[in-house]
Chains A and B, each alone.
Chain A
Amino acid sequence: MKLRLDNVHKSFAERKVLAGLNLEVNAGEVVSFIGSSGSGKTTLLRCVNLLEPVDVGAIFLDGDEISQLGRDPDPIRRRIGIVFQSFNLFPHMSVRRNITLALTEVLDKSTQEANATAQLLLKRFNLDEKIDSYPDQLSGGQQQRVAIVRALAMNPEVLLLDEITSALDPELVGEVLDVVRELKGSGITMLIATHEMNFAREISDRVCFLDSGQIAEQGRPEQIFNNPIDDRTKQFLRRVQAVGKT
């Protein structure tokens, strides 16, 4: 599995969000995207999941152009999971049903099989007691962990994490990041948009600094955080250091 973005442009009305972005991600690689708000991190992930169509350029998965206009996105989305900043669990469904819905309706698994998958994954992340709870009855951290489990249950090749701790109280961030730590090394490819610099440094094989819809600089985490080359990267890191976010 290999993901490639080729000269991707995306605008919303007059605002250019992605401006000719190029990227290659290898199978099993963990890549983090940092940069100020509006630099295009979220849009980049949403384009990969085909939630936003690209204006110009193309996205390839295993050499197959997935971004073609008019192509059925559903089979591709089964291979690419996404976890959102605001969890987006289905509030009218129990935790169990949140996880099994796509298993039974998209992958045509039996109810028993889907339940077994849900139980197994919930147990792995210490959420098995919550299987019959509803999202509103869970803490933010628990909801986000369930959202990760929901995406993982589809057994995706690529997992997109879109600022998954930004909506959480500081003391709940840790439990969610622990889940991601556990996933690293399981072979799943992860693209992570984040404001947690320490986490990006620790978890990533590669860190990309986004500015004005392009990758301004990318490299090993140590290089990006200790010896940034690009002036914009240096400025950004100075700003986040000033508010104690590294």
Chain B
Amino acid sequence: MPRLPRWDRVKESFFNGERLIDSLPRLLDAFVLDIKIFAWSTPAIIALALVLAIARSSRNPALFPIRIFVIGYIDIMRGVPVILWIYLIGFGVPGVGLERPFNSPLLWGSVALVLTYGAYIAEVFRAGIDSVHESQRAASRSLGLSNSQTMRFVILPQAIRRVVPPLMNDLVSLQKDVALVSLIGPIEILRQANIDKAKFANFTPYIGAAIIFLMITIPLTRTTDYLLARERKRTSATRVR
């Protein structure tokens, strides 16, 4: 065992029970904002990602320019760190002199999250769409279903089921990246933890914030696992041990 001569001091400044109990209510209060940002961004992200993925997977030669545009968009959004987009969009767009409420950093921070995560998740959906075997498309088209009906009834339902695990992975990631919006102003949990840390010269509020994040992300992951297992059980006859 190496000696940890300063362990007592770390314990005092990171795992201080009194500080934890004192800051938890404020942290939870601030966490409501994280939940809100997550809650309104997620549907927008999924919708944007689906539109991008479907556009990118389209086969109509006439839609070639749209495919090129989508590929460029995804490359650019994914190629720059999320935090940079939050700065650029969050500070930049309100800078053109928009009136309230359209100058809120909260709004544009959320928009930055939607635009970047939409690009990440579009690639997840596209991988799912590509993974559905061509013969499924042939079967659907041979029954007289159109391209878009085939996408809607045959390809997408299978694609989405397959990408639920990586999708949840990205959503857990989003749940944490919501905290980045704090860097352009809104007082959400990470910023509140910062304030408490500064006020009491103690790092324990960070531990409190970490615990609160885990309280959300772990049940989210477990629920997904459960839903997937149930689906697998429903549609298949046997399982290999």
A interface residue numbers (CB < 8 A to B): 46, 49, 51, 73-75, 77-78, 80-82, 84, 86, 88-92, 101-102, 105-107, 134, 136-137, 150-151, 154
Contacts and interface: CB of A to CB of B under 8 A. Distances in A.
Contact of B158 (A74, A91, A136): A91
B225 to A, nearest CB: 19
Nearest 8 pairs of A and B residues by beta carbon: A88-B139, A102-B143, A78-B144, A106-B144, A136-B236, A137-B237, A134-B235, A77-B144
15 contacts: A46-B138, A51-B138, A81-B142, A88-B138, A90-B136, A90-B158, A92-B235, A102-B144, A106-B149, A107-B144, A136-B235, A137-B237, A150-B143, A151-B142, A154-B144
A88 B136 contact: yes
Given A92-B157, A134-B236, A105 B142 contact: no
Interface residues of B, number: 21
Interface string B128-143: 0000000110111111
B153 interface: yes
Nearest to B157: A92
Contacts of B236: 134, 136-137
A106 B154 CA distance: 14
Given A92-B161, A154-B143, 9 more contacts: A51-B138, A51-B142, A73-B141, A74-B144, A80-B142, A134-B234, A136-B236, A137-B236, A137-B237
B162 to A, nearest CB: 10
Residue among B140, B141, B142, B153 facing the most chain A CB atoms (10 A cut-off): B142
A198 to B, nearest CB: 28
B145 interface: yes
Interface string B153-177: 1100110010000000000000000
A77 B138 contact: no
B125 to A, nearest CB: 16
Given A74-B144, A154-B144, A105 B149 contact: yes
Contacts of B224: none
B221 interface: no
Contacts of A78: 144
A107 B141 CA distance: 14
Contact of A105 (B153, B161, B234): B153
Contacts of B135: 84, 86, 88
Contacts of B145: 74, 101-102, 105-106
Contacts of B161: 92
A179 B144 CA distance: 23
A137 B235 CA distance: 7
B60 to A, nearest CB: 12
A88 B237 CA distance: 18
A107 B143 CA distance: 10
A80 B143 CA distance: 8
A126 to B, nearest CB: 19
A106 B141 contact: no
A46 B154 CA distance: 20
Contacts of A86: 135
B143 A84 contact: no
B59 to A, nearest CB: 13
Contact of B142 (A49, A107, A137): A49
Contact of B144 (A75, A91, A92): A75
Contact of B143 (A75, A92, A106): A106
